[in-house]
């Protein structure tokens, strides 16, 4: 099939490439000329393992091309995926400006029947809005269908998640569109949930909010475990082995970050509010998440004698989780902000994030190696769960530091091991 994917971010680029893998012909469309130029020459404008290799392969095989030519791209393709951003807008609701612009262009330029698929995470009722935006901009009426088909991929494992999804959700009331979508996904080995667009849109928010809830649940329990001297990792293991609970998303840490969970939980809360409901559990999920980095900061301060002024601290990890260069809503940045407020000299390191042009680069010094970052510091704070940090030789790092303190915000290290090297170790209820 010939597919147009509008938006070349994480979701758009990954979606394009997995459809190439399944034998479809894909055009990637974006208004940003620089992104299109980079992609055309096989370069990604973000870090995602495995994606660039696949991009090169499909450019070479001519399965994919990129363009900024909206009109031609819409006219030439009959299945159009909307993969543009839906950032957090007013009062936490999703900002649909980009989706609206795309829908209006589709209406303006469509020349025959099209299936318009929303892959971006969009609030309940958006399929209906997209339909109206298209109709309003059509010079003459032409039939089309709007399908909700949310994406569940994670940054850092986008390719694997998109190629081997747990399920595919198709939200449409049109038989014609359903048949086309089934044909498109026929080579994927997973259950397909057929439903209407509203339920499909809700499924995405409900899934992300549920996962965020698991994280806030374990993080709140971790605080109590800390108080009681209980190892929260054992608790996660013990409850996660119950099939009804499941082992994933029960890792205690500094709270969830990234571009999805914070945005989606807030958008669902906002949808509820607009409809006269308070989702009190989710409301608490947000509160727990917001206070988790502060809880950790408190522990850091306490251990270092209460006053951090004049201290030098290494922060290892800037991205919101491992295997991505995304720092959006990263707990690490919250920690850095608090340290700077307390007049701490911060020495940062991350395997892929470069602060370069960010305002932080003016107040935080970033180092190429962990050895440099930890030199002369009073403490190290582990903020991102990069594998590189799990295998560090702490015996060699210790003599470089002024004081041997490790604060492990991701419970990555073996407490006993680093303590045996003479470190003071504090994790998140990692006893
Ligand atoms: C998420 C969803 O998983 C994905 O399905 C959706 O489509 C987009 O949002 P992503 O934001 O890429 O993906 O990251 P994910 O791996 O889900 O982690 C989210 C946050 O939760 C990270 O900050 C991570 O560090 C944190 N987390 C995750 C925990 O704190 N504990 C855990 O046990 C798991």
Is 153's C-beta closer than 6 angstroms to any atom of ligand 1? yes
Shortest CA distance to 271 belongs to which of 150, 96, 134? 96
Which residue among 195, 219, 237 closes a domain? 195
Report helix, strand and coil shares of the chain as percent, to nearest 5. 45, 15, 40
As beta bridge partners, residue 234 has: none
- Looking at the fold, whether 66 and 128 belong to one and the same domain comes out as yes
**248 Cα nearest atom in ligand 1:** 33
Give the number of other CB atoms < 10 A from CB of residue 136: 11
- Looking at the fold, whether 297 and 391 belong to one and the same domain comes out as yes
Report which secondary-structure segment, H or E, holds 5. strand 2-6
Report which secondary-structure segment, H or E, holds 94. none
- Looking at the fold, whether 122 and 218 belong to one and the same domain comes out as no
pLDDT tens for residues 181-230? 999 999 999 999 999 999 999 999 999 999 999 999 999 999 999 999 99
151 belongs to a structural domain: yes
- Looking at the fold, whether 172 and 222 belong to one and the same domain comes out as no
pLDDT tens for residues 119-149? 999 999 999 999 999 999 999 999 999 999 9
Is 208's C-beta closer than 6 angstroms to any atom of ligand 1? yes
- Looking at the fold, whether 18 and 164 belong to one and the same domain comes out as yes
| Positions marked active-site | 260
Residue 331 phi, psi dihedral angles, 5° rounding: -55, -30
Residue with CA at minimum distance from ligand 1 atom 14: 154
* Predicted pLDDT of residue 72: 98
The whole-number average pLDDT for the span 405-417 is: 97
Q: For position 416, which CATH number holds?
A: 3.40.50.720
Which residue among 251, 286, 321 closes a domain? 286
Which residue among 195, 230, 255 closes a domain? 195
Is 213's C-beta closer than 6 angstroms to any atom of ligand 1? no
The whole-number average pLDDT for the span 303-307 is: 96
431 belongs to a structural domain: no
Pocket test for ligand 1, best of 152, 235, 248, 249 (most atoms within 8 A of CB): 249
Q: Decide if the complex's ipTM is over 0.85.
A: yes
Is 154's C-beta closer than 6 angstroms to any atom of ligand 1? yes
- Looking at the fold, whether 134 and 225 belong to one and the same domain comes out as no
- Give Cβ neighbours of residue 62 (< 8 Å, ≥ 6 apart): none
- Looking at the fold, whether 12 and 132 belong to one and the same domain comes out as yes
228 belongs to a structural domain: yes
Is 256's C-beta closer than 6 angstroms to any atom of ligand 1? yes
Residue with CA at minimum distance from ligand 1 atom 7: 152
- Looking at the fold, whether 113 and 227 belong to one and the same domain comes out as no
Residue with CA at minimum distance from ligand 1 atom 26: 256
Query: What's the mean per-residue pLDDT of the chain?
Result: 97
pLDDT tens for residues 19-76? 999 999 999 999 999 999 999 999 999 999 999 999 999 999 999 999 999 999 999 9
How many structural domains are present in the chain? 3
Q: Is 90 exceeded by the pLDDT of residue 357? A: no
- Look up the domain containing 301 and give its range: 289-426
CA dihedral 178, 179, 184, 189 (to 10 degrees): 80
pLDDT tens for residues 240-297? 999 999 999 999 999 999 989 999 999 999 999 999 999 999 999 999 999 999 999 9
Q: How far is the CA of 332 from the centre of ligand 1 (A)?
A: 15
Q: Please answer whether residues 111 and 80 qualify as being in contact, where contact means their C-beta atoms are separated by less than 8 angstroms.
A: no
Q: For position 224, which CATH number holds?
A: 1.10.1040.10
Is 10's C-beta closer than 6 angstroms to any atom of ligand 1? no
The whole-number average pLDDT for the span 152-170 is: 96
């Amino acid at each position: 099939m010939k597919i147009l994917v509008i938006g070349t971010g994480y979701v758009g680029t990954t979606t394009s490439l997995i459809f190439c893998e399944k034998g479809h012909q894909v055009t990637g469309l974006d208004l940003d000329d620089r992104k299109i130029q980079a992609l055309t020459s096989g370069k990604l404008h973000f870090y995602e393992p495995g994606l660039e290799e696949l991009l090169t392969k499909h450019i070479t095989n001519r399965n994919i091309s990129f363009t900024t030519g909206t009109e031609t791209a819409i006219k030439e393709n009959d299945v159009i995926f909307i993969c543009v951003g839906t950032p957090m807008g007013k009062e936490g609701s999703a900002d649909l400006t980009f989706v609206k612009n795309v829908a209006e262009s589709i209406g303006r330029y469509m020349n025959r029947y099209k299936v318009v698929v929303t892959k971006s995470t969009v609030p309940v009722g958006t399929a209906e809005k997209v339909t109206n935006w298209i109709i309003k901009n059509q010079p003459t009426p032409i039939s089309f269908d709007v399908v909700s088909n949310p994406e569940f991929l994670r940054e850092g494992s986008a390719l694997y998640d998109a190629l081997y999804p747990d399920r595919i959700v198709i939200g449409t009331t049109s038989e014609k569109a359903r048949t086309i979508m089934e044909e498109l996904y026929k080579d994927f080995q997973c259950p397909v949930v057929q439903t209407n667009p509203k339920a499909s849109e809700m499924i995405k928010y409900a899934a992300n909010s549920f996962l965020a809830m698991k994280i806030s649940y374990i993080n709140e329990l971790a605080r109590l475990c800390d108080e009681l001297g209980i190892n929260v990792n054992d608790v996660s293991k013990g409850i996660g082995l119950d099939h009804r609970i499941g082992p994933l998303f029960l890792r205690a840490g500094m709270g969830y970050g990234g571009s999805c969970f914070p945005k989606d939980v807030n958008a669902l809360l906002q949808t509820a509010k607009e409809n006269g409901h308070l989702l009190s559990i989710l409301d608490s999920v947000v509160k727990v998440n917001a206070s988790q980095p502060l809880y950790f900061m408190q522990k850091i301060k306490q251990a270092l004698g209460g006053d951090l002024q004049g201290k030098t601290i290494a922060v290892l990890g800037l991205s919101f989780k491992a295997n991505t260069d995304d720092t959006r809503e990263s707990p690490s940045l919250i920690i850095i902000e608090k340290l700077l407020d307390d007049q701490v000299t911060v020495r940062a390191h991350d395997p892929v994030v470069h602060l370069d042009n960010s305002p932080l680069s003016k107040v935080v010094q970033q180092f190429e190696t962990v050895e440099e970052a930890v030199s002369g510091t009073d403490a190290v704070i582990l903020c991102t769960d990069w594998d590189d940090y799990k295998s560090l030789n702490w015996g060699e790092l210790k003599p470089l530091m002024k004081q041997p303190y490790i604060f492990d915000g991701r419970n990555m290290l073996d407490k006993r091991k680093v303590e045996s090297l003479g470190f003071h170790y504090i994790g998140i209820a990692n006893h």
